[in-house]
Structure 1
Amino acid sequence: MTKLFRNGHIFAALSNRCKYSTAPKSICTLHINDKEYQSDNFTNATPKIISYLGRNLHLQKGHPLSNVRQRIVDYFYKSFTHRGNPTFSVYDNLSPIVSVKQNFDDLLIPLDHPSRAKSDCYYLNKETLFRAHMTAHQSELLHAGLDNFLMIGDVYRRDEIDSTHFPVFHQVDAVRSQRKEELFVDHPDLQIFEPIFDPQYPEAFTNSTTDAHKQSCHTLEATKLMENQLKTHLLGLVQTLFGNDIRYRWVEAYFPFTHPSWELEIYYENQWMEVLGCGIVRNEILARAGPNNSIAYAFGLGLERLAMALYKIPDIRLMWSNDSGFLNQFNNKDVNAKITYKPVSIYPQCVNDISFWLPNNITVDTFINNDFYDLVRDIGGDIIEQVKLKDKFIHPKTKKHSLCYTIVYRHLERTLTKAEVNAIHKEIEKAITDSYDVVIR
């Protein structure tokens, strides 16, 4: 099993013919971790995104993400033991390259769900992508016979560019499953499943989620007991991180792979902030992966959001900084220490606008912003602080469509010169022209 989950040293290169090319993607090959992935019309992983593979910030000792990860692991190790050993196993080096089946199909995510869209995910080809959530490994671990586990790693999603969004971030996902004798220790007469459902033949039953309180295969007693455990354990985790006096609330939510589902929000800096999502695992997932006599809960949370709140880190890009002035504030410190980030220095912004006419076959409403964001990030790298859509314009006479974006440049470790910013801005103009046949205004 060790071999199955080993990530190893990752390196990657993208053929020059793929980069900003209008040529058919079928001629391009991506080389990652000694493997080749033939590109197709789904391929949208850029060289910049591929370069983040293998950084594993959550395992970098003294990094704020690693400190938060360790606090979460410590909480579960302390809270759940069996005969003196931790109940939960931890998987924090799983390969970030997964199949569409792992990322979507195994989790009952419908074919028309927006999370599958090319505008939301980084695809290597139509069958393979960078995982969009750590839940992508849930079924394989269940199939391996595990029942209580934490999955921790980097995930990849196409998104806007600002101080709280980055295309790569880190998640902790978990599953805790229990059999009847574990769940109903004091009430052996109670059952996990309704009499109409036979767990030995789950395929003979159509599980329904029309009841807001439970899945049709589960008894209300089993669901409510699991819900109580889930909320108690996760509230305990949040109180361990933020203090016992933190205000909180549970909000009903929807996830394709759990029912019922909730989000936990805390009142932080005068506003409600979501910190995690959770729910009772759909029984179809358990049955397909192997366990046919258990009920389980699952949850997922983002390490960046927690770390930025706990340490008052203002810009998510700092998580990727190698600057010693940033890292030394967390290195060689107790993971439970209360640390408030102190800016080393504030370097000035450089702001440039870019506007262009779109080709006739693209409108201001059909142009995909995330395509432009990735192009800008791929060229400008981590000095891109923010990209905002400033204006949409349709010429009243020619009916030609135009977009204008504001790009904010700022280096985290030095002052940028106007000349080098202008040079990068020219590269971006050339790339968007070559890639989308636009005309710079």
Structure 2
Amino acid sequence: MSASDLERELADLKQTAIAAIATAADLDRLEQLRVQFLGKKGQLSQVLRGMGKLSTDERPRVGARANDVKQALQTSLEGARNNLEAAAIAAQLASETLDVTLPGVGRPLGRKHPLNSTIDRMIEIFIGLGYTVAEGSEIETDYYNFEALNTPPDHPARDMQDTFYLPGGKLLRTHTSSVQIRYMERHAPPIRIAAPGRVYRRDTVDATHSAVFHQLEILSVEEGLSFTDLRGTIVEFLRQMFGTELEVRFRASYFPFTEPSAEVDVRWQGKWLEVLGCGMVDPNVLKAVGYDPERYTGFAAGFGVERFAMVLHRMDDIRRLYASDLRFLRQF
């Protein structure tokens, strides 16, 4: 093959390759063309194999021509690559463009349920009074729910009509007092805890009662506590909760785990409304957790969260708190 034949092949190769490169639709096709024309086994290499038969004078001229073709193809490939990359970026920007003139897709913000906000408010007050939050399981044993709280087997609360019993000697706790027992078993006095949570009792649902409701109980144990400390704590809590002008009264009552015990009423809408029970911790309860009742005294109180929420927000029916009616909940 003569030098002129090789030069014609190089010219044809250049024309064919540049035309193919100009029509490449994507980067993958462009890479295929690069390999086809400039690869080790590409068409340019095949043409250059014929240089071995040329004379010493012809080789430099054909070699220079081959370098020109190679440079032209590389320039064409680079230009096409830049154009394809720019086009890809432009297409991506176009597809991902955010039209800021359109209204956004809004998601309504949630709100605290009145029960949760009431619990938070109660806890905040007690934390300010030096209490620590303690929580426990809603499934309990008879020991922690009754026996350790000085509640004898013949107490009405143990009746099947008052308590939800489960297989294996378990039950759904009827109060959060079981949290107090478990906490005292693990901690030595002095202690001050507030125990919020859900509790269960067999009860007929009506405007003021529910089989599932929420409690918050407090417990304080240390040396020298008296009923005066209990009364001061309760009055301060109620006045922070409802206002300093609130009327509060204590009535003698009975609970198996406190002695003496009292019910506490507040003046609400012109009438006395019972809001909690309280008392000094019975010595038998202290003994059950290994405390010395001759050295330590304590007081406890239990608050119905639903009752407080109803008073705070002037609700007429406890069932409104559980109906998930947005017309009602959006008011809070």
Specify the code of the residue in structure 1 equivalent to 2:116: S
Give the match for residue 194 of structure 2: 150
Cα distance in 2 for partners of 1:61, 1:129 equals: 33
What is the rounded CA distance, in whole Å, between the counterparts of 2:168 and 2:253 in structure 1? 29
Residue type of the alignment partner of 2:165: Y
Q: Is residue 239 of structure 1 aligned with residue 289 of structure 2?
A: no
Q: Which residue of structure 2 aligns with residue 274 of structure 1?
A: 274
Q: Which residue of 1 aligns with 2:144?
A: 102
- Stretches of 4+ moved more than 4 A in 1? none
CA distance in 1, matches of 2:254, 2:290: 24
Unaligned runs of 5+ in 2: 1-109
Displacement of 1:257: 0.5
What residue number does 2:300 align with? 298
- In structure 2, the residue matched to 1:368 is none
**Which residues of structure 1 form unaligned runs of 5+?**
1-59, 81-87, 184-224, 331-441
Q: Say what the alpha-carbon RMSD is for the aligned residues.
A: 1.7
Q: CA deviation at 1:61?
A: 6.3
Alignment partner, residue 69 of structure 1 = 119
How many Å separate the matches in 2 of 1:79 and 1:140?
Answer: 22
Render the CA deviation track for 1:184-224: whole Å, top value 9, x for unaligned: xxxxxxxxxxxxxxxxxxxxxxxxxxxxxxxxxxxxxxxxx
More strand by share: 1
Please report the TM-score for the alignment, with normalisation by the length of structure 2.
0.63
Tell me the equivalent position of 1:314: 316
Paired-residue identity, %: 34
Structure 1 equivalent of residue 256 of structure 2: 256
Counterpart CA distance in 1 for 2:230 and 2:246 is 18
Moved more, 261-270 or 285-294: 285-294
Output the amino acid matched with 2:129. S
Distance change (3 Å), C-alpha of 1:61 and 1:143:
farther
Amino acid at match of 2:300: A
Post-superposition Cα deviations, 1:36-93, rounded to whole Å, max 9, x if no partner, equal xxxxxxxxxxxxxxxxxxxxxxxx961111111111111122222xxxxxxx22024x
Q: Give the aligned length.
A: 219
Q: For residue 267 of structure 1, what is the amino acid of its counterpart?
A: R
Query: How far, CA to CA, are the matches of 2:219 and 2:273 in structure 1?
Result: 23
**Contact 2:206-2:319 within 8 A present in 1 as well:** no
Instruction: Say whether 1:161 aligns with 2:163.
Output: no
Q: One-letter code of the match for 1:132?
A: T
Residue of structure 1 equivalent to 2:158: 116
Name the structure 2 match of 1:89: 132
User: TM-score normalised to the size of structure 1?
Assistant: 0.48
Give the Cα separation in 2 of the matches to 1:231 and 1:308: 23
Report SS of the residue matched to 1:123. Answer: coil
Residue 289 of structure 2: aligned partner: 289
Partner residue of 2:177 out of 135, 143, 147: 135
User: Which one-letter code corresponds to 2:123 in the other structure?
Assistant: V
Tell me, yes or no, if the aligned pair for 2:134 and 2:179 is still in contact at 8 Å.
Answer: no
> Cα deviations across residues 147-169 of structure 1 (Å, max 9, x unaligned)?
21111101101112211111000
**1:313 Cα deviation (Å)?**
1.7
Larger radius of gyration: 2
